């Protein structure tokens, strides 16, 4: 068997391995059983009806949406400024500072959650929304930095230089020339940042309160105390929503920002 065939077979198994858990979640969401079981028994849409009519899912969804939108917005602004500074200027400890901003990608979220909990406690930050937004901004900034940095590296410097020659200030050049030209990179960074924030659980467990429950925390609680197919139903809704959002974003997204 030629190496190329072996590689193709391994690729197929890899994609099956990735897709199988998602498929199992979706199939069990239609189960007629009162508990999670695979293969599913019977067929019903009642669990989806339960998810959309049970009011306890609405507020956690809104909480997750607020935190994800605001933290992604902050990460986008900060990530753009950091990326521009790193790409355009030489300064001491540049490599170390760059690694520091990207460190949330490799530091375990458990350690981040504990560290941020101690930090916010010492600073007297008690509002759960503020704590979650700040924490998720830290978590999503690396995705924006990677995307924007990749976009800037492919940008033709002569375009910005022409803008400055024509009398535009550095701020106007950045705002009216640079950012529009790297729009795909901005969209890709914002997309990944939003998904990471919306689905984040571990850090949220440390920083949330009983009054501000996010959707992942509610799902986690249900898995512990109420293991029925409604968990699969709400998870399937999130999976489908993510896929739809991803397909819409693919028109603009800069895949090379993350994959070379």
195-208 pLDDT, tens digit each? 999 989 899 999 88
**Assigned domain for 239 exists:** no
**Assigned domain for 222 exists:** yes
Number of domains into which the chain is organized: 1
Mean pLDDT of 49-64: 86
Q: Which of 46-50, 103-107, 129-133 has the highest mean pLDDT?
A: 129-133
Structure confidence at residue 86 as a pLDDT band (50, 70, 90):
confident
Reported pTM: 0.82
**Assigned domain for 13 exists:** no
**Assigned domain for 30 exists:** no
Q: Does the structure show a pLDDT above 60 at 257? A: no
**Of 17-26, 47-56, 100-109, 163-172, where does mean pLDDT reach its minimum?**
163-172
Structure confidence at residue 252 as a pLDDT band (50, 70, 90):
low
pLDDT at res. 256: 52
**Assigned domain for 128 exists:** yes
pLDDT at res. 77: 92
**Assigned domain for 187 exists:** yes
Question: How far apart, in whole angstroms, are the C-alpha atoms of residue 92 and residue 77?
Answer: 23
pLDDT at res. 2: 58
Q: Does the structure show a pLDDT above 80 at 72? A: yes
Residue-wise pLDDT for 145-176, tens only, equals: 988 888 888 877 777 777 777 777 777 877 77
For the chain, give the mean pLDDT: 83
Question: How far apart, in whole angstroms, are the C-alpha atoms of residue 100 and residue 47?
Answer: 44
**Assigned domain for 15 exists:** no
Mean pLDDT of 171-195: 84
* pLDDT, greater one: 130 or 93: 130
pLDDT at res. 78: 93
Q: Does the structure show a pLDDT above 70 at 253? A: no
**Assigned domain for 240 exists:** no
Per cent of the chain over pLDDT 70 is: 94
Q: The CATH number of the domain where 136 resides is what? A: 1.10.3720.10
Mean pLDDT of 202-228: 85
State which residues form the domain around 94.
Answer: 56-227+252-259
**Of 22-26, 86-90, 217-221, where does mean pLDDT reach its minimum?**
86-90
């Amino acid at each position: 068997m030629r190496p190329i065939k072996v590689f193709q077979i391994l690729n197929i198994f890899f994609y099956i391995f990735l897709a199988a858990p998602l498929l199992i979640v979706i199939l069990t969401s239609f189960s007629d059983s009162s508990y999670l079981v695979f293969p599913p028994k019977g067929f019903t849409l009642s669990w989806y009806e339960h998810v959309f009519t049970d009011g306890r899912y609405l507020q956690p969804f809104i909480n997750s949406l607020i935190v994800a939108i605001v933290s992604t917005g902050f990460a986008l602004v900060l990530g753009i400024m950091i990326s521009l500074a790193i790409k355009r200027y030489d300064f001491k400890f540049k490599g170390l500072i760059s690694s520091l901003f990207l460190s949330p990608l490799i530091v375990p979220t458990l350690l981040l959650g504990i560290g941020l909990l101690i930090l916010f406690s010492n600073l007297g930050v008690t509002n759960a929304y503020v704590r979650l937004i700040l924490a998720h901004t830290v978590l999503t900034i690396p995705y924006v930095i990677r995307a924007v940095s990749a976009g800037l590296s492919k940008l033709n410097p002569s375009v910005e230089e022409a803008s400055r020659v024509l009398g535009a200030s550095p701020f106007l050049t950045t705002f009216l020339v640079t950012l529009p030209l790297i729009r795909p990179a901005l969209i890709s960074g914002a997309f990944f940042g939003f998904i990471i924030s919306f689905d984040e659980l571990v850090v949220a467990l440390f920083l949330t309160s009983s009054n501000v429950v996010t959707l992942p925390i509610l799902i986690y609680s249900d898995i512990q105390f109420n293991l029925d197919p409604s968990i699969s139903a709400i998870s399937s809704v999130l999976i489908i929503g993510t896929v739809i959002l991803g397909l819409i974003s693919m028109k603009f997204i800069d895949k090379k920002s993350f994959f070379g």
